[in-house]
Amino acid sequence: MCGILAVLGCSDDSLTRRARVLELSRRLKHRGPDWSGLYQHGDCYSAHQRLAIVDPDSGDQPLFNEDKSVAVTVNGEIYNHEELRKKLVNHTFRTGSDCDVIAHLYEDYGEDFVDMLDGIFSFVLLYACDNSFIVARDAIGVTSLYIGWGLDGAVWISSELKAFNDDCEHFEIFPPGHLHKSKSRGFRRWYNPPWFSESIPSVKYDPLFLRHAFENARLFLIYLYAVIKRLMSDFPFGVLLSGGLDSSLIASVTTRYLAGTSAEKNWGDQLHSFCIGLEGSPDLKAAREVADYLGTVHHEFHFTVQDGIDVIEDVIYHIETYDVTTIRASTPMFLLSRKIKSLGVKVLISVEGSDEIFGGYLYFHKAPNKDEFHREPCRKIKALHQYDCLRANKATSAWELEARVPFLDKEFLNVAMSIDPESKMIKKEEGRIEKWVLRKAFDDEERPYLPKHILYRQKEQFSDGVGYSWIDGLKAHAAEHVTDKMMLNASFIFPYNTPTTKEAYYYRTIFERFFPQNSARLTVPGGASVACSTAKAVEWDVAWKNNLDPSGRAALGVHLSPHNV
């Protein structure tokens, strides 16, 4: 992932302002250490910190059209850029960068080109002819982006909160699937899929079609793979492999692709996989078994509870949240990313979105009917940018890596979210566990994708799967730093999103130290008393009412693996 920072329409166009923009942009250098660029047109500044993945030789930003009347600063990857170049027959491209198509598409299609992009992106586009600009963010919010406003009338755009500092008086999350135009000074939703209205779909479940949609997500004459197109890179890539269903399927599909192509993929035709956990954790064991089955070059890393505790402050600084579940899961991912970076990898394939799409969390066992079952995934997908996407993006970007998420491919989403939710519902009496439709789609007797017990392995939250003593250790550490007396005053100290556990209080104090602005605390959603992952379950089953812990183990009467690792 790259880092972008823009200050648009400010009252000061002096060298002092330029130097300040450069200074703030450097706070994003961890996202893009390979090159930096700054474009100024009148009272607009657009800065870029580049992580070079495609065309490292000539793809530095900003990128321009032929006469340089359009300048674009982008964070992201456009997977269908070669297809789009073929549409732009009257244009000349200066680079081989996948993002080079954006300026030219704007010339031909105006702002409507955004929906033509297949990928993950946040960008600022400046049009010199009338001194206007547009800003856009990808459909689900895989790339992080914030917008702010200054007292001088300037609009601020940044990949992370830390670049705003005190120079921007108010800021908030830039909504996914939207664009912002200077001419209207407002937002417009460009992403409007059929499932977004939350109306109940009725397409009959077809396991073979779903499998092909995952492998071949664009259903046109040439099938581009939801997984495979995300291997677009001039540098080594790998997969995050926990041994759970989702990461194992991605590893399996990728392995088959590499075995069936003659093209050398940086490290050769053998896939590299990565896993982290406490000694003896469920994920380490399952991931090793999957790696052996698929024949990947597997890299297994161990950490201790103390290792994780030691980096909590770094994690909160980089992830920019105080949400409990996000921090728990971000910490091992942060540690793993650092290890992976040392091996020279830049691109990782990750699994975010699958549990939301298919109702994979254990509390979905309690869904009372198919209508409720469908609306909850819709809500959770819309909120992914505040939780799992935020974690995956920032935990990897902290160490100069880019995470790509095939389950959130637009075409795959359209297919998966159009399935009649009756087929997705968990019915233990019929042998249907969570994510049954996905498991069934890849249950191939003739040419198995995975061993049966892996294909039907029960859901583990990442923060649980790395070792159950990880969460217990965090709670114990927080209890040493937060007293009962401090908790009594919590509502006065933190009137917004008041923490109700010592662990939540501990994270909040660290967050406030790094990000003391009121705008910053407002970017973290929800309430600490009922975590996002269990909020709906309280409605579905009153037995959850007094549960304050969002761990998957808290799924009452559902989780079957009470190990003490």
Residue 53 lies in a domain: yes
Q: What is the pLDDT of residue 257?
A: 82
Examine the residue annotation and report whether 44 is marked as an active-site residue of this protein: no
Q: What is the pLDDT of residue 564?
A: 41
Name all contacts of 178-183 with Cβ < 8 Å and 24+ positions apart. 178/136, 178/137, 179/111, 179/114, 179/134, 179/135, 179/136, 179/137, 180/134, 180/135, 180/136, 180/147, 180/155, 181/111, 181/132, 181/133, 181/134, 182/8, 182/9, 182/132, 182/133, 182/134, 182/155, 183/132
On whether both 500 and 522 belong to a single domain, the answer is: yes
Q: Domain total for the chain?
A: 2
Domain containing 549 equals 196-554
CATH of the domain at 228: 3.40.50.620
Residues 6+ apart with CB under 8 A from 60: 35, 37, 50
> Amino acid identity, residue 35?
W
Q: What is the pLDDT of residue 232?
A: 66
On whether both 206 and 188 belong to a single domain, the answer is: no
Residue 561 lies in a domain: no
On whether both 132 and 279 belong to a single domain, the answer is: no
Look up the pTM and report it: 0.92
| Residue 128 φ/ψ, nearest 5 degrees | -70, -25
On whether both 36 and 153 belong to a single domain, the answer is: yes
Output the six-digit token pair for 361: 């969390």
Residue 224 lies in a domain: yes
On whether both 104 and 62 belong to a single domain, the answer is: yes
On whether both 147 and 201 belong to a single domain, the answer is: no
Chosen domain end from 192, 207, 239: 192
On whether both 201 and 141 belong to a single domain, the answer is: no
On whether both 418 and 432 belong to a single domain, the answer is: yes
Mean pLDDT by 10 residues, the chain (565 residues): 92 82 95 91 92 78 92 94 92 90 95 95 95 96 97 94 91 97 93 93 87 58 47 78 93 84 57 93 93 96 96 98 95 96 91 93 90 94 96 96 92 90 92 91 91 85 72 96 96 95 97 96 70 63 65 55 45
Q: What is the pLDDT of residue 261?
A: 62
Q: What is the pLDDT of residue 217?
A: 42
On whether both 304 and 168 belong to a single domain, the answer is: no
On whether both 318 and 209 belong to a single domain, the answer is: yes
Residue 564 lies in a domain: no
> What does the H/E/C string look like for 355-385?
HHHHCCCHHHHHCCCHHHHHHHHHHHHHHHH
Residue 537 lies in a domain: yes
Q: What is the DSSP letter of 210?
A: H
Instruction: Report the distance separating Cα 200 and Cα 373, nearest Å.
Output: 10
CATH of the domain at 48: 3.60.20.10
* Total length of the chain: 565
| Residue 483 φ/ψ, nearest 5 degrees | -90, 165
Helix, coil or strand: residue 309: helix
Chosen domain end from 163, 192, 221: 192
On whether both 433 and 544 belong to a single domain, the answer is: yes
Q: What is the DSSP letter of 329?
A: H
Chosen domain end from 192, 224, 255: 192
H-helix segments, 407-501: 410-416, 436-441, 452-455, 462-465, 469-481, 484-488, 490-493
User: Which sign, positive or negative, has the C-alpha torsion 45, 49, 52, 53?
Assistant: negative
Instruction: Report the distance separating Cα 86 and Cα 109, nearest Å.
Output: 14
Instruction: Report the distance separating Cα 547 and Cα 557, nearest Å.
Output: 13
Q: What is the pLDDT of residue 478?
A: 97
Q: What is the pLDDT of residue 452?
A: 93
On whether both 123 and 260 belong to a single domain, the answer is: no
Residue 560 lies in a domain: no
**Contact (CB, 8 A) for 116 and 93:** no
